[in-house]
Amino acid sequence: MARSIRKKFWLVTAMVTMLALTLGVAAACTEDPGTQQAQTYTVMFYDGSTVITTREVEEGGTVEAFEPADADYEKEGYSFGGWYATADFTFDWSFDTAITRDTNVYSMWSSAAEDTRQWLIAGSSSAGGPLAAIGWNGGPIEGENGNILTKTEGKNEFTITINLYVGDQFQFCIQDDEGVWNTDDANGGGARGGQYLVENEYMSAPGTGLGDGQVNITVSVSGNYTLTLTTDAEDKNVGSITVVRNGDAPAVTVDRSDYTWYIYGNSAAEKSAESVLAGTNWGANVESLQYSAYEMFKISDNEADGTGTWMQTWTLAEGDEFLLAYCMLKDGGGISAQDGTMFYYPDIDEFNGEDAAFKKADGMGSNIVVVEGGTYTFTLTVTLNAETNTLEGSIEVDKTADILTSDQTWKVLGGRLSYAQATDPATGNLTIDESAYNGKTSVFANNNFGMGSQVQQLTAVSSPAAGMAREYEITLDLVEGDYFYICIPVWVNMPYRENAEGPYYKQGYNSQLATAQNLPEGITADWAWSGNFLCTQAGSYTFKVSVAADGTLSLTVTNA
């Protein structure tokens, strides 16, 4: 019934519209063309919110060129700098513009007051140019490769000549000696980026409007450049950045032989069990990055030049914000991501066909934000763009539970403590005769935590227990001092490490994520190296790894 009423309504509407069009045509045919008048529009010329003058213009006409002084408008202490279509002076306005509506035009005025601020260039260069050393928070840097702009005498004009490379990004800013930015123009600070860039063929920026002043400028053509920043001591919207390319930039070589990749970010989580980033604020305080919880493992066997494929599994909490980067230890503690080596959200593949687990950070940044907390496996593939000499990366993400519930190979990686370690109260704390200890043979004699010739493998249980997706077990004849863990290993390449010759196994998914409860006498997990199990009493033990349907791990150990 409703559909029938709707049809009738549209039929009546169509008839009324047709009648109105017919009457309109008839009226138009009887109107005297000589009585039609051209539409007139008002063009208002402003200084801020003050109206300088107005002009009435017929549709399609133009305004005769003039300056404020021609309209008896003077502004003491300022010089007129041109007319603009927007109040932030982003877009020029021309007197050749055909007027087709009421229009506002804005005048730019430059103050005669001297700009005494020290302007710096800050940025990043993955190609290894000067910006790689300068960075985003370098503070004032003197010398040939410094970042301090030179002021032109008698003008609010600042210049710097610098080699820039494809992909380099930069801004001009005010920083203190510690590299801390002050972006408050009213309080002696300032930052100048995309809003101020004069259009050119060598550089670009996405910022084109008010508030976009701090969008990075990106270099699209390598070269030696002279960059000129003009400013106003009183109005942050007045100013420009012009670009002159002087010639080619010299070739640079970047040493990437020690590059590996880390997770770098921030989390409000209080415990590491909730997030690998718990307690960090863009710089975890660790003594070593190698073997830390933040390190990714290289699973490809190509040359150590920063390229390859890295993998790691991390537990992350909702709200975590991070990126993947080459990191280094900072003087005084903490870690920092190195400029030009950061991979962000635009490089992340959709998570299992949907984007519900992660999102792009709000604002101008593109960090990865966790929407749904959980344990995820990240695979980072890094390639070298030969044309630009820059690294490019893509990030794939899998929910770790999906991997664990599939058919996997679980292995035991282990070794044996020396007698001194076994009896040291700080490590093994075992009480045993030295000759008896050394007379026993370890099942891990040829294992050596995956680098040896024999690595023990668990057997899949053909009929898992109720509620379990997979189960795996192994029986080991252990002796005192054996220490080990059970995991799904990955084949890791770390040729640039002094203590790792060639590939070796490393834990991928450690059963210690769910430590076994009620361990039998003779096996302990509560000792110096708590990531491993320690045998304190020789015997035969059976270990069973169970994977629930939701990917939750559990481990049972029995004395066989």
Here the tokens at position 482 are 């054996």
pLDDT at 513 over 70: no
More confident: 92 or 557: 557
Report the chain's mean pLDDT, rounded to a whole number: 84
**pLDDT value for 19:** 38
pLDDT at 476 over 80: yes
Question: Out of 58-62, 103-107, 391-395, which region has the weakest mean confidence (pLDDT)?
Answer: 391-395
| Alpha carbon distance, N-terminus to C-terminus of the chain | 78
Most confident of 28-42, 120-134, 418-432: 418-432
**pLDDT value for 505:** 54
Please choose, from the candidates 325, 321, 322, 320, the residue with its C-alpha nearest in 3D space to the C-alpha of residue 310: 325
Question: Out of 8-22, 76-90, 110-124, 208-222, which region has the weakest mean confidence (pLDDT)?
Answer: 8-22
The predicted model gives 122-145 an average pLDDT of: 87
Q: What is the pLDDT of residues 157-205, one digit of tens each?
A: 999 999 999 989 999 999 999 889 998 988 899 999 988 899 899 999 8
**pLDDT value for 358:** 92
pLDDT at 138 over 50: yes
- Count H helices and E strands in the chain, helices first: 5, 33
Contacts 24+ apart (CB under 8 A), 350-356: 351/397, 351/399, 352/398, 352/399, 352/402
| pLDDT band, very low/low/confident/very high, at 227 (cuts 50, 70, 90) | very high
pLDDT at 504 over 60: no
**pLDDT value for 34:** 53
**pLDDT value for 516:** 65
pLDDT at 85 over 50: yes
Most confident of 78-82, 158-162, 368-372, 526-530: 158-162
Q: What is the pLDDT of residues 400-420, one digit of tens each?
A: 888 889 999 899 989 999 999
| pLDDT band, very low/low/confident/very high, at 479 (cuts 50, 70, 90) | very high
pLDDT at 252 over 70: yes
Question: What domains lie within the chain, and their CATH numbers?
Answer: 40-111 (2.60.40.4270), 120-247 (2.60.40.3620), 275-400 (2.60.40), 411-559 (no CATH)
Q: Beta 308-316 vs 374-385: how paired, if at all?
A: antiparallel
| pLDDT band, very low/low/confident/very high, at 10 (cuts 50, 70, 90) | very low
Here the tokens at position 492 are 């890791």
β-partners of residue 84 are 92, 106
Q: What is the pLDDT of residues 283-340, one digit of tens each?
A: 888 888 887 889 998 888 887 788 999 999 899 999 999 999 999 888 777 788 887 7
Greatest Cα pair distance in the chain: 122
More confident: 467 or 112: 467
> DSSP letter string over 51-90?
EEEEEEEETT--PPP--GGGGT---TTEEEEEEESSTTS-
- 410: which DSSP letter? -
The number of residues making up the chain comes to: 560
Write down the pTM of the prediction. Answer: 0.65
pLDDT at 427 over 60: yes
- 133: which DSSP letter? H
